[in-house]
Amino acid sequence: MYEVVQIRLREAGKITYFSPGGTRFKIGEYVIVEADRGLDYGQILSETQALLDSDIDEPLKRIIRKANPWDMHQVEKNKKKSREVMEACSKKIQERKLPMKLIDAEFSFDRSKIVFYFTAEGRVDFRELVKDLANVFKTRIELKQIGVRDEAKILGGLGPCGRALCCATYLKDFEPVTIKMAKEQNLPLNPTKISGLCGRLMCCLGYEHKTYKELMKGLPREGEILKTEKGSGKVININALKRSVTVELEDGTWFEVKYK
């Protein structure tokens, strides 16, 4: 049994478990942690929790300390420095005419590694690019191909609701979202209405999906023929929240049938 907390490494790194070493941390605090080589920083995403040995996929690393003002100053310096390495990397990509779009760059806390994030339509052979960048920056280089949802998460923005993107603020992982979720919530199947900035189905379609499924139990399907007190009619609309359906009778009139 291990005591662990979830931490997102750097600003766009993966979320993983770390040992708090008996210290209690608050959600949202920045901490300095052990990395593969040297030190890195991350943000606490969960309270301390207990996990079985079988739930830990890799050796558990430790949190070294809560980030102090000097640490955060170093993090800010690294962010400014990352803009410079982005420009250099972009030039190298153009020189080698690689079919990739550079999205972001991050330094590890101690600058022992630079991670470059990029998107591409297919696989890209970037081995020579890695050598070029290692020669320029004299440090470890990691290139990581990401998807369009991760790109939106890194770059941020405002959703159709007018709020900051969920993925860029508090979502830990991307959950599967399907067109069936939109259908069951009686939403218009217009791509511009149900797609996010990333071009994929909006994550928020999954937030109330279970509730809608529960509310839909016992309701007839759209197109189904119902026998009502006013005669037979076809279901033309379903309102899960009101637990009601709209029925069109044979004479063309509509009326609402409510369910408990």
Which are the contacts of 70, defined by CB distance < 8 A and separation ≥ 6? none
Query: What is the pLDDT at residue 12?
Result: 64
Residue 175: predicted pLDDT: 84
Q: Using alpha carbons, list the distances in angstroms from residue 181 to 26, 89, 207, 212.
A: 35, 40, 10, 9
Q: Residue 78: which domain range?
A: 72-146
As a whole number of angstroms, the distance between CA 234 and CA 243 comes to: 17
| Tally of CA atoms within 13 A in the half-sphere of 183 that contains its CB | 5
Higher local confidence (pLDDT), 174 or 116: 116
39, 107 contact by CB (below 8 A)? no
Instruction: With CA atoms as reference, report the closest residue to 90 among 128, 125, 129.
Output: 129
Q: With 80 as the cut, is the pLDDT of residue 229 above it? A: no
> Could you tell me if 141 and 156 lie in one domain?
no
SS3 89: helix
The pLDDT score that the predictor gives to residue 86 is 93
pLDDT tens for 250-260 read 788 888 888 87
How far is residue 149's CA from residue 12's CA, in Å, rounded to a whole number?
12
| Residues pairing with 153 in the sheet | none
Give the C-alpha separation, 114 to 107, whole Å. 5
Residue ranges of E strands in 54-99 = 61-66
How many structural domains compose the chain? 4
Asked if 56 and 88 sit in the same domain, the reply is no
pLDDT surpassing 90 at residue 143: yes
**Does the global pTM surpass 0.95?**
no
Averaged pLDDT for residues 212-238: 83
Strands 113-119, 140-145: pairing kind: parallel
Please check whether residues 85 and 142 belong to one and the same domain: yes
Strands 30-34 and 39-44: antiparallel
- Tell me, what's the pLDDT at 258? 83
Query: What confidence tier does 66 reach under pLDDT thresholds 50, 70, 90?
Result: very high
Beta bridge partners of 119: 101
Mark which of 146, 165, 184 sits at the end of a domain. 146
* Residues 16, 60 within the same domain: yes
Shared-domain flag, residues 203 and 224: no
Average pLDDT on 30-59 reads: 82
Report the alpha-carbon distance of residue 171 to residue 151 in Å, rounded. Answer: 14
pLDDT of residue 122 exceeding 70, the answer is yes
What pLDDT was estimated at residue 246? 87
**Token duo for residue 194:** 């149900």
Do the beta carbons of residue 170 and residue 207 sit within 8 Å? no
Tell whether 52 and 83 lie within a shared domain: no
Both 120 and 177 in a single domain? no
Choose the most confident range, by mean pLDDT, from 17-21, 28-32, 255-259.
28-32
User: Does residue 191 share a domain with residue 222?
Assistant: no
What is the C-alpha to C-alpha distance for residues 12 and 165, in angstroms, rounded to an integer?
14
| Residue type for position 54 | S
**Long-range contact list for 21-29, CB < 8 A, 24+ apart?**
21/62, 21/63, 23/63, 23/66, 24/48, 25/63, 25/66, 29/66, 29/67
Q: What is the residue whose two structure tokens read 């410079």?
A: 84
Instruction: Check: CB of residue 164 under 8 Å from CB of residue 158.
Output: yes
Confidence grade of residue 108 (pLDDT, cut at 50, 70, 90): confident
pLDDT of residue 71: 93
Q: Does position 223 have pLDDT exceeding 90, yes or no?
A: no
Q: Is the same domain home to 94 and 127?
A: yes
- Give the residue from 101, 118, 146 where a domain finishes: 146
Arithmetic mean of pLDDT over the chain: 87
CATH for 106: 3.30.300.20
